[in-house]
């Protein structure tokens, strides 16, 4: 909750605009980050084996590139370590080229040409010249070498692959001009010079390794300034620092790759600080509370609440229309901005808004919802004038556990989603320092939702 006298100053001091990127289901200019392609430690041998249990590669054996017979998981893991390539990348490549991860009855030809290495559009797999690359182990190893010790190395040293692909170099692919934004994307086109094939790669990658972050999560792409709030599968750009600092805890921002961020379609921007007073071109005045715009019915009401005209921010009626329209504020409205009070008798705290009181069971709930709230003392007779409402809950995006139980949850849509392992917790980019401790009573205010799923589950 922002104190009224500070609202305008906060907006003026920190209204630094961030220009969000355009959302595309498949961005041909950016397929995968360099860091993701070369993250050899993304999966260990056991995780690769568990992932392969969905198909025949779980039990498949083949000579590796040195002629030693090994399980498929072992070949993939050793290749990743030897050539500094992400085993997830190799898994997606195997699926994109030959559907080997999920095919329950693959042919020997699919195994022999597992990554499509050495096979061009006009080549025949029966060509004797291709025999040196035939076989599952050779295919996985050769493809890995081609990417990290071929394409990526060429780009690092010369800015371009041996062909024509490099970062910031326009090239025509299937009649479309594509300008790869990074080395990994350029390497992908050097290997598969088609939009469709690379679009399939992105679709598979997102379905297996793209995380579905809960509502309330704050995300930021590595190397970029923009911050987004995930809400019901959309990413909403927070386009001013004032909007960020007045609404959310910036310590909870998680840095992800651009690939991960752009799997979410872009939603409406969050541009105004909470509790902004706005005036449109028609002279209508409204108060923004969270994502709800509440029209103030008259200047008399406006002044009676204690608002000042120098707090007004000029907006368009079209901007106002992008918000949920709440109930109008009239002269009889009680605490439309909301306020926190503490009983002078026993110290119990309540959130008062629109004639309703919500009990605050724990100081952690207060801090999570209203970190800058000014707490007012009140006698019981004041509180009794408000209708009793539900207990105030933790906001979405909060990481929480109880004092009594080590299980950790993330709050989403008012529910607590269990995080069932440390690996899942860390895989999402969460930090242990952001987990707050509460009593079981507070935790039980939130119904239990679905488990937070790890990558590839």
pLDDT confidence of 13, banded at 50, 70, 90?
A: very low
Q: Are residues 290 and 410 in the same domain?
A: no
In 354-402, which ranges are E strands?
356-360, 375-378, 387-388, 399-402
Mention every residue, 6+ apart, whose C-beta is less than 8 A from residue 170. 177, 178, 179
| 331, part of any domain | no
pLDDT in tens, 356-365: 999 999 999 9
Burial (Cβ within 10 Å: 0-12, 13-18, ≥19) of residue 130: middle
Q: Are residues 38 and 170 in the same domain?
A: yes
Q: Are residues 61 and 204 in the same domain?
A: yes
| 48, part of any domain | yes
Q: Are residues 119 and 147 in the same domain?
A: yes
Q: Are residues 92 and 185 in the same domain?
A: yes
| 248, part of any domain | yes
Closest CA to 231 of 428, 108, 97, 413: 413
| 377, part of any domain | yes
pLDDT in tens, 319-358: 898 888 999 999 999 999 899 999 999 999 999 999 999 9
Task: Compute the residue count for the chain.
Answer: 457
| 4, part of any domain | no
| 334, part of any domain | no
Comparison of pLDDT for 327 and 12, the residue scoring more: 327
Q: Are residues 249 and 377 in the same domain?
A: no
Q: Are residues 46 and 171 in the same domain?
A: yes
Half-sphere exposure of 315 (CA within 13 A, CB side): 22
Provide the token pair at 262. 């752009």
CB atoms within 10 A of CB 81: 13
Q: Are residues 140 and 158 in the same domain?
A: yes
Residue with tokens 């692959």: 161
Domain span at residue 430?
A: 393-457
pLDDT in tens, 361-419: 999 999 999 888 899 999 999 999 999 999 999 999 999 999 999 999 999 999 999 99
Q: Are residues 312 and 215 in the same domain?
A: no
Closest CA to 453 of 429, 418, 412: 418
DSSP state for residue 233 in the 8-state scheme: T
Q: Which long-range contacts (CB under 8 A, 24 or more apart) does 304-311 make?
A: 304/331, 305/329, 305/333, 305/336, 305/337, 306/4, 307/4, 307/277, 310/8, 311/4, 311/7, 311/8, 311/277
pLDDT confidence of 291, banded at 50, 70, 90?
A: confident
Half-sphere exposure of 151 (CA within 13 A, CB side): 26
| 384, part of any domain | yes
Q: Are residues 52 and 157 in the same domain?
A: yes
Q: Are residues 435 and 317 in the same domain?
A: no
| 227, part of any domain | yes
Helix (H, G, I), strand (E, B) or coil at 128: helix
Tally of domains in the chain? 5
Q: Are residues 229 and 201 in the same domain?
A: no
pLDDT at 210: 76
Q: Are 139 and 112 in contact (CB under 8 A)?
A: yes
Helix or strand (DSSP H, E) at 207? helix 195-209
pLDDT confidence of 305, banded at 50, 70, 90?
A: confident
């Amino acid at each position: 909750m922002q104190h009224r006298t500070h609202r305008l100053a906060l907006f003026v001091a920190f209204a630094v605009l961030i220009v969000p990127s355009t959302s595309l289901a498949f961005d041909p200019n950016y397929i995968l980050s360099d860091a993701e392609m070369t993250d050899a430690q993304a999966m260990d041998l056991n995780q690769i084996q568990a992932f392969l249990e969905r198909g025949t590669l779980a039990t498949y054996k083949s000579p590796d590139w040195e002629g030693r017979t090994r399980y498929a998981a072992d070949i993939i893991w050793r290749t990743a370590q030897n050539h500094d390539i992400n085993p997830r990348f190799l898994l997606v490549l195997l699926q994109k080229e030959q559907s080997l991860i999920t095919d329950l009855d693959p042919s020997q030809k699919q195994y022999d040409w597992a990554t499509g290495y050495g096979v061009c559009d006009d080549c025949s797999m029966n060509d004797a010249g291709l025999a040196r690359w035939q076989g599952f182990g050779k295919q996985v190893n050769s493809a890995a070498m081609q990417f990290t010790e071929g394409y990526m190395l060429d780009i690092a040293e010369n800015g371009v692959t041996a062909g024509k692909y490099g970062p910031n170099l326009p090239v025509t692919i299937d009649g479309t001009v594509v300008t790869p934004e990074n080395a990994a994307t350029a390497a992908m086109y050097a290997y598969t010079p088609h939009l469709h094939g690379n679009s399939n790669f992105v679709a598979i990658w997102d379905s297996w390794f793209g995380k579905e972050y809960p509502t309330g999560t704050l995300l930021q792409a590595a190397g970029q300034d923009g911050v987004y709030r995930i809400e019901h599968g959309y990413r909403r750009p927070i386009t001013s620092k004032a909007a960020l600092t007045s609404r959310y805890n910036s310590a909870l921002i998680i840095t992800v790759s651009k690939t991960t961020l752009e799997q979410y379609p872009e939603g409406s921007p969050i541009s105004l600080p909470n509790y902004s007073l706005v005036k449109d071109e028609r002279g209508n005045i409204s108060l923004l509370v969270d994502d709800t715009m509440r029209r103030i019915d008259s200047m008399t009401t406006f002044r009676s609440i204690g608002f000042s005209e120098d707090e007004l921010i000029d907006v368009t009626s079209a901007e106002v229309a992008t918000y949920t329209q709440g109930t109008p504020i009239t002269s009889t409205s009680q605490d439309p901005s909301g306020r926190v009070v503490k009983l002078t008798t026993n110290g119990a705290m309540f959130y008062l808004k629109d004639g309703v009181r919500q009990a605050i069971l724990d100081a952690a709930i207060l801090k999570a919802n209203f970190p800058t709230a000014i707490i007012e003392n009140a006698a019981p007779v004041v509180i009794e004038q408000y209708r009793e409402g539900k207990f105030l809950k933790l906001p979405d995006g909060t990481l929480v556990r109880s004092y009594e139980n080590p299980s950790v949850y993330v709050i989403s849509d008012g529910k607590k989603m269990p995080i069932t392992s440390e690996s899942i917790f860390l895989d999402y980019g969460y930090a242990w320092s952001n987990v707050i401790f509460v009593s079981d009573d507070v935790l039980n205010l939130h119904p239990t939702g679905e488990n937070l799923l790890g990558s590839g589950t």
